[in-house]
């Protein structure tokens, strides 16, 4: 699978790296990543592309080489930025796939412009809150706790999160912390202190076919939130991935891609 | 030199196994450890001590703001300050300060500080901290990456409210007010001296220099570790072409005075260790949420005093470590004088926030230490900066004929018409 990376500039002025998978002539899928960044998604996105989609995965401002995070302050900014990216890529209508924080953004985008989303896939999305099942506080986790909370396979998770950084190298370690502060600092604008920006009251506007996918071993957001999302979006269906933690695209790339493909085929 | 007597107001009854049984003294500390009936005694004791410090000649008496914190029981320092304004008549009342990004709308700070300045006759020092991550982000829910922006807007609003004679509209990002019209207004003109407590953000240095505010480095790590940070500040002062008056900077220092060095250890070690080993037991996950510090500050390598590593190191420190490391200045009046001189000259500061009550130190020891400091240390240090004598740019300008509430009778018979007397 060929993966190309382009830089786009949105009308607002943010500059984002976009990784693209598959044939440009295929119907477009816009994939939005989770709070820690675009990590370990390639296999899942490759499967989707192989199934006949042009998959574009933009990096949010504040991540990697993407800039313009100072332009994004609240949920509306993040959602409009998503459409600005689609505009810059020349997509009028699009399949939106979002994981975790990316799912929260995809849901808000669709509530804003329901006519532009042909299908919506939310993988363990942030955005709802129930006092009985609090979403874990990502912002007070210590570095070594991330893998434990977010991955079913903690060793694989730890390796992915650190991206091969040698933590005995102080310079590399400092760069890692600075990058992390920038990424999660940006994410905090829509996730801190409680990852609920009231999308629930706007979900009645979502009219596209919707799939909610969730790993049933998710320790970050309780898998029972899947039913809450499904109850708020007319006609949404739920797909459970047994044994998967929060990082479903990394942990179950093939299964998730198949579930998405089945959903897109039937819708 | 100026000396402010400062009390953090720690809870003095944390159990011996506090560290083992609790993950943090701050944010999610077990509320069952707090006993309101014992707090009745505690608050009065601490407020008595602040009044005592005024009576023995300290230039200022200081309070600060913390939330959900076992070592800082002043969620509202203004309540304590209001009482001090009525029970003292001389010392500056240093509120260091109000976390202005947390007040909604922040005009509340302009109003309450103006009240304090009026009640005290112009004795208020107004502190505007950005606030710690524990207080600001985890307890009060502010978004880390937007905290500084919100702080900057609150500052702009408060200063404008104090200095604009006409009602005005304020169209801020975080505060929209159609009619801003601060009543009452502060006695001190154009406003009370402003102190910015900081922990090492380089943006804070520039903010102080842009506005000519005092920069107060408040840490518990002491003067030896404070040196590199203050050196950085003074380099910045020079680079910005400002004069190097030591009154631009203040520093907080834990101090214990006794007859001899040995007596200091005997009297104060257990209370100092209570503070460093128990009160500073903060869960590291609360100390530095992503986005709180700017990327520039992170790149500059300025370290937060409450980083995980720093906090862990507090917990194993001994009296010897703390005294030798300069966290604590302790000993006979002569020893304390010498070390204070090193500190004041080394850091080039004109103002010390003296932490003379620490941890669970009982009242009598606190007064003993305070009195020895006031009578045998402070006088010897007064004139360290003769070349800056009279530099009161960062100091209060009280009314000369202000009310002395401590000698005021509730009724002046002379004002009552004769027929009713």
Residue by residue, DSSP assigns A68-104 as: -GGG--SHHHHHHHHHHHHHHTT-SSEEEEEETHHHH
Considering only CB atoms, which chain A residues are within 8 Å of B285?
Answer: 140-142, 145
Q: How many domains does chain A have?
A: 1
Residue A95: what are its φ and ψ, rounded to 5°?
Answer: -85, 125
Instruction: List the beta bridge partners of residue A58.
Output: A18
Question: Residue A185 is nearest to which of B138, B286, B290, comparing CB atoms?
Answer: B290
Please enumerate in sequence order all residues whose Cβ is within 8 A of that of B391, keeping only pairs 6 or more positions apart, or say none: B245, B247, B350
Q: What is the pLDDT of residues B377-404, one digit of tens each?
A: 999 999 999 999 999 999 999 999 999 9
To probe the interface with A, which of B143, B172, B174, B296 has the most A CB atoms within 10 Å? B143
Residue B131: what are its φ and ψ, rounded to 5°?
Answer: 100, 150
Cβ within 8 Å, pair A183-B146: no
Q: What is the pLDDT of residues B124-136, one digit of tens each?
A: 999 999 999 999 9
Q: Give the pLDDT confidence score for residue B75 in this predicted structure.
A: 97
Give dist(CA A219, CA A213) in Å, integer: 15
Smallest Cα distance from B144 to chain A, Å? 7
For the ranges A107-111, A142-146, B259-263, which has the lowest average pLDDT? A142-146
H, E, C per residue of B246-309: HHHEEEEEEEEECCCHHHHHHHHHHHHHHHHHHHCCCCHHHCCCCCCCCHHHHHHCCCCCCCHH
Please enumerate in sequence order all residues whose Cβ is within 8 A of that of B340, keeping only pairs 6 or more positions apart, or say none: B253, B255, B329, B352, B377, B381
Q: Give the pLDDT confidence score for residue B84 in this predicted structure.
A: 98
Considering Cα of A223, then A228, then A232, then A238, what sign does the dihedral take?
A: positive
Asked if pLDDT for residue B309 goes beyond 70, the answer is: no
Q: What is the pLDDT of residues B188-234, one digit of tens each?
A: 999 999 999 987 777 889 999 999 999 999 888 898 889 989 999 99
Question: Residue B289 is nearest to which of A139, A178, A183, comparing CB atoms?
Answer: A139
Asked if pLDDT for residue B313 goes beyond 90, the answer is: no
Q: Give the pLDDT confidence score for residue B419 in this predicted structure.
A: 82
Cβ within 8 Å, pair A141-B141: no
Q: Give the pLDDT confidence score for residue A98 in this predicted structure.
A: 98
Q: Coil, helix or strand for B187?
A: coil
* Alpha-carbon distances, residue A3 vs A15, A149, B44 (angstroms): 19, 30, 69
Cβ within 8 Å, pair B137-A139: yes
Q: Give the pLDDT confidence score for residue B407 in this predicted structure.
A: 87
Q: Where are the alpha helices (DSSP H) in B22-143?
A: 36-55, 77-87, 107-120, 133
For the ranges A71-80, A96-105, A157-166, which has the lowest average pLDDT? A157-166
Please identify which residue in the block is written with the tokens 């009645």: A204
Q: What is the pLDDT of residues B92-118, one digit of tens each?
A: 999 999 999 999 999 999 999 999 999
Closest C-alpha among A253, A235, A8 to residue A123: A253
Please identify which residue in the block is written with the tokens 């998730």: A256
C-beta of residue B97 within 8 angstroms of C-beta of residue B197? yes
Closest C-alpha among A52, A6, A56, A2 to residue A26: A52
Other beta carbons within 10 angstroms of residue B72's beta carbon come to 24
For the ranges A115-124, B295-304, B383-392, which has the lowest average pLDDT? B295-304
Cβ within 8 Å, pair B141-A193: yes
Q: What is the pLDDT of residues B21-46, one digit of tens each?
A: 999 999 999 999 999 999 999 999 99
Closest C-alpha among B256, B275, B283 to residue B11: B275
Asked if pLDDT for residue A81 goes beyond 50, the answer is: yes
Token pair in block for residue A163: 């991206």
Could you tell me the pTM of the whole model? 0.94
Give dist(CA B187, CA B358) in Å, integer: 33
Give dist(CA B96, CA A56) in Å, integer: 51
Please enumerate in sequence order all residues whose Cβ is within 8 A of that of B3, keeping only pairs 6 or more positions apart, or say none: B58, B59, B60, B351, B352, B354, B378, B381
Considering only CB atoms, which chain B residues are within 8 Å of A181?
Answer: 290-291, 293, 295, 298
For the ranges B37-41, B164-168, B293-297, B312-316, which has the lowest average pLDDT? B312-316
Give dist(CA B2, CA A248) in Å, integer: 60
Q: Give the pLDDT confidence score for residue B311 in this predicted structure.
A: 53
C-beta of residue A14 within 8 angstroms of C-beta of residue A71? yes
Tell me what the mean pLDDT of segment B319-332 comes to. 96
Residue A199 sits in which domain range?
3-266
To probe the interface with B, which of A35, A36, A78, A139 has the most B CB atoms within 10 Å? A139
Asked if pLDDT for residue A172 goes beyond 80, the answer is: no
Please identify which residue in the block is written with the tokens 């999302």: A229
* Alpha-carbon distances, residue A125 vs A47, A76, A149 (angstroms): 21, 17, 15
Tell me what the mean pLDDT of segment B360-380 comes to. 98
Other beta carbons within 10 angstroms of residue B166's beta carbon come to 6
Please identify which residue in the block is written with the tokens 């998710």: A218
Please enumerate in sequence order all residues whose Cβ is within 8 A of that of A134, keeping only pairs 6 or more positions apart, or say none: none
Residue A8: what are its φ and ψ, rounded to 5°?
Answer: -120, 155
* Percentage with pLDDT > 70 across chain B: 97
Q: Name the CA radius of gyration of chain B, rounded.
A: 21
Structure letter (DSSP) for residue B22: -
Q: Give the pLDDT confidence score for residue B303 in this predicted structure.
A: 46
Considering only CB atoms, which chain B residues are within 8 Å of A193?
Answer: 137-138, 141, 143
Give dist(CA B352, CA B340) in Å, integer: 9
Q: Measured at the alpha carbon of residue B325, what is the angle toward residues B320 and B327, in degrees to the nearest 5?
A: 95
C-beta of residue A191 within 8 angstroms of C-beta of residue A101? yes
Considering only CB atoms, which chain A residues are within 8 Å of B298?
Answer: 174, 177-178, 181
Q: Name the CA radius of gyration of chain A, rounded.
A: 17
Tell me what the mean pLDDT of segment A229-242 comes to. 97
Q: Give the pLDDT confidence score for residue B310 in this predicted structure.
A: 52
Considering only CB atoms, which chain A residues are within 8 Å of B308?
Answer: 142
C-beta of residue B70 within 8 angstroms of C-beta of residue B11? yes
C-beta of residue B350 within 8 angstroms of C-beta of residue B383? no
Question: Residue A184 is nearest to which of B285, B286, B290, comparing CB atoms?
Answer: B290
C-beta of residue B285 within 8 angstroms of C-beta of residue B361? no
To probe the interface with A, which of B290, B294, B306 has the most A CB atoms within 10 Å? B290
More confident: A40 or B356: B356
Q: Give the pLDDT confidence score for residue B306 in this predicted structure.
A: 42
Size of interface A-B (CB pairs under 8 A): 63
Q: What is the mean pLDDT of chain A?
A: 95
Q: Give the pLDDT confidence score for residue B305 in this predicted structure.
A: 43
Cβ within 8 Å, pair A140-B141: no
Asked if pLDDT for residue B348 goes beyond 80, the answer is: yes
Please identify which residue in the block is written with the tokens 């009936």: B37
Asked if pLDDT for residue B308 goes beyond 60, the answer is: no
Question: Residue B143 is nearest to which of A180, A183, A189, comparing CB atoms?
Answer: A189
Give dist(CA A220, CA A239) in Å, integer: 18
Tell me the ipTM for this assembly.
Answer: 0.92
Give dist(CA B329, CA B218) in Å, integer: 15
Number of H helices and E strands in chain A, helices first, is 9, 8
Report the DSSP pairing between strands A237-241 and B2-6: unpaired
Question: Residue A178 is nearest to which of B284, B289, B295, comparing CB atoms?
Answer: B295
E strand residue ranges, chain A: 3-9, 15-21, 28-32, 54-58, 94-99, 117-123, 210-215, 237-241
CATH label of the domain that carries residue A115: 3.40.50.1820
């Amino acid at each position: 699978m060929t993966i190309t990376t382009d830089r786009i500039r949105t009308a607002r002025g943010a500059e984002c790296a976009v990784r693209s998978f598959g044939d440009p002539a295929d119907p477009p899928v816009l994939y939005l990543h989770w709070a820690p960044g675009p990590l370990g998604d390639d296999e899942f996105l490759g499967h989707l592309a192989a199934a006949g989609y042009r998959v574009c995965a933009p990096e949010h401002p504040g991540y990697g080489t993407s800039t313009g995070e100072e332009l994004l302050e609240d949920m509306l900014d993040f959602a409009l930025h998503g459409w600005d990216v689609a505009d810059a890529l020349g997509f009028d209508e699009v399949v939106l796939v979002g994981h975790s924080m990316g799912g929260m953004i995809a849901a808000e985008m669709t509530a804003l412009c329901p006519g532009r989303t042909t299908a919506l896939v939310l993988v363990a999305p942030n955005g709802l809150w129930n006092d009985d099942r609090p979403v874990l506080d990502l912002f007070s986790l210590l570095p070594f706790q991330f893998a434990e909370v977010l991955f079913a396979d903690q060793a694989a998770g730890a390796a992915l999160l650190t991206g091969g950084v040698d933590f005995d190298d102080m310079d590399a370690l400092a760069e890692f912390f600075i990058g992390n502060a920038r990424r999660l600092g940006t994410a905090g604008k829509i996730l801190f202190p409680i990852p609920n920006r009231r999308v629930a009251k706007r979900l009645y506007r979502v009219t596209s076919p919707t799939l909610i996918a969730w790993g049933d071993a998710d320790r970050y957001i309780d898998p029972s939130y899947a039913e809450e999302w499904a109850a708020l979006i007319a006609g949404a269906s739920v797909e459970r991935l047994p044994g998967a933690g929060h990082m479903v695209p990394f942990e179950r790339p093939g299964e998730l891609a198949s579930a998405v493909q089945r959903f897109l085929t039937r819708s | 030199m100026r000396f402010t007597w400062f009390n953090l107001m720690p809870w003095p009854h944390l159990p011996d196994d506090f560290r083992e049984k609790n993950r943090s003294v701050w944010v999610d500390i077990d509320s069952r450890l707090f006993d309101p009936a014992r707090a009745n005694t505690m608050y009065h004791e601490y407020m008595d001590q602040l009044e005592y410090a005024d009576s023995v000649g300290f230039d200022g008496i200081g309070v600060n703001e913390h939330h959900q914190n076992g070592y800082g029981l002043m969620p509202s320092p203004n309540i304590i300050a209001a009482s001090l304004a009525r029970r003292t008549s001389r010392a500056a009342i240093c509120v260091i300060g109000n976390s202005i990004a947390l007040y909604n709308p922040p005009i509340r700070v302009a109003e309450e500080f103006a009240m304090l300045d009026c009640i005290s006759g112009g004795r208020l020092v107004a502190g505007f901290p950005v606030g710690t991550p524990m207080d600001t982000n985890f307890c009060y829910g502010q978004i880390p990456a937007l905290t500084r922006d919100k702080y900057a807007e609150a500052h702009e609003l408060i200063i404008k409210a104090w200095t604009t004679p006409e009602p005005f509209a304020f169209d801020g990002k975080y505060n929209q007010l159609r009619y801003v019209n601060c009543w009452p207004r502060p006695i001190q003109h154009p406003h009370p001296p402003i102190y910015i407590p900081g922990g090492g953000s380089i943006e804070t240095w520039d903010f102080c220099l842009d506005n000519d505010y005092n920069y107060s480095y408040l840490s518990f790590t002491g003067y030896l570790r404070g040196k590199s940070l203050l050196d950085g500040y003074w380099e910045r002062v020079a680079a910005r072409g400002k004069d190097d008056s030591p009154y631009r900077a203040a520093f907080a220092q834990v101090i214990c005075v006794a007859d001899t060095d040995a007596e200091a250890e005997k009297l104060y070690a257990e209370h100092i260790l209570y503070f460093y080993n128990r009160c500073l037991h903060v869960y590291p996950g609360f100390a530095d949420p992503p986005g709180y510090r700017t990327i520039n500050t992170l790149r500059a390598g300025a370290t937060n005093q409450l980083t995980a590593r720093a906090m862990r190191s507090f917990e194993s420190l001994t009296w010897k470590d703390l005294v030798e490391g300069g966290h604590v200045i302790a000993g006979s009046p002569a020893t304390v004088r010498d070390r204070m001189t090193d500190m004041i000259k080394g850091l080039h500061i004109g103002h010390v926030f003296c932490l003379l009550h620490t941890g669970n130190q009982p009242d009598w020891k606190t007064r003993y230490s305070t009195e020895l400091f006031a009578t045998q240390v402070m006088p010897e240090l007064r004139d360290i900066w003769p070349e800056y004598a009279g530099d009161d740019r960062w100091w209060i300008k009280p009314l000369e004929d202000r009310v002395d509430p401590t000698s005021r009778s509730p009724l002046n018979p002379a004002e009552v018409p004769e027929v009713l007397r």
